[in-house]
Amino acid sequence: METVSKNLCFGGVQSICQHQSETVGTAMRFSVYSPPQAKKSSVPVLWWLSGLTCTEENFTFKAGAQRYAAEHGLLLVAPDTSPRGADIDGENDAYDFGTGAGFYVDATVPPWDKNYRMFSYVSNELPQVVSNHFPANIEQQGISGHSMGGHGALIIALKNPGQYRSVSAFSPICNPTECAWGKKALSGYLGKDSAAWRQWDATTLIEDGYRCPAPLIDQGTADEFLHNGQLRPDALQSACNKHGQPLDLRTQPGCDHSYYFIASFIGEHIAHHAAALRS
């Protein structure tokens, strides 16, 4: 593993790292904030998954999360959103498919199935890499994310029961089998049979019996992607109500889809995870 950069921050250390991933077959970057408490002992881990077009840097630079991670003693890890440089024809043609848009699924159709395996990367390989190089208590994990990353956080928690003690999301894509972003990504990575898509959609996973710790979700009322049908939190709420999955869905008046929104409430989300991880 290579340390690309390292900076002191709120008594801890903010690093950008790179390693060669066996899961996706390319070099992958991720950011790690080690809080001051990590100098003395291992600490719980909070994974952050970013949205379309993002890298490991967007959340790290814009959310202001390090202050709260230092306060609560959490190791904060943000991976990239897709493989980079897989040299697949067409992977750089659109913002919502291919590079920067891995959707946190394991692709099953060529040519994407060789490299676009972000579900396995985030769930399995990256925790091992982080625990090998940082003082991470891998038995105490939480997961969060934004937009496409919120979708990733929800499905990864649902499909890995017991691995994560806490879950949260900002403006997640809640029902990708029924929105334009999701249909494009799922058909491209998984094929045209929509029956195969259900295992990568938080709403349909809950309908099919999957469960996770009660997610905390914040959704802004002025979010353009809420109003054009890309996010569908109402579908998730309905499935949770019907099937007994606890959910704390909060609407935030006037907030949009930006990092200004995330920065406004990231402290509450980190406190939510800290309470669960240290209980």
Q: Which candidate in 50, 144, 147, 168 is catalytic?
A: 147
At a CB cut-off of 8 Å and minimum separation 6, what does 239 contact?
Answer: 203, 204, 206, 207, 245
Indicate which residue of 31, 50, 223, 269 is catalytic: 223
Interior CA angle at 49 toward 106 and 66, to 5°?
155
Annotated catalytic residue within 72, 146, 257, 273: 257
**DSSP string of 224-277?**
HHHHTTSS-HHHHHHHHHHHT---EEEEETT--SSHHHHHHHHHHHHHHHHHHH
Dihedral-angle region of residue 164 (phi above 0 means left; psi in -120 to 50 means alpha; beta otherwise): beta
**166 catalytic, yes or no?**
no
CA proximity to 77, closest of 6, 22, 14: 14
**Nearest by Cα to 141 from 279, 36, 273:** 273
- Residues 53 and 249: their CA atoms lie apart, in Å, by 25
Instruction: Measure the CA–CA gap between 150 and 136, rounded to whole angstroms.
Output: 22
Please state, in angstroms and rounded to a whole number, the distance separating the CA atoms of residues 169 and 185: 20
Tell me, yes or no, if 223 is annotated catalytic.
yes
Q: Which residues are catalytic?
A: 147, 223, 257
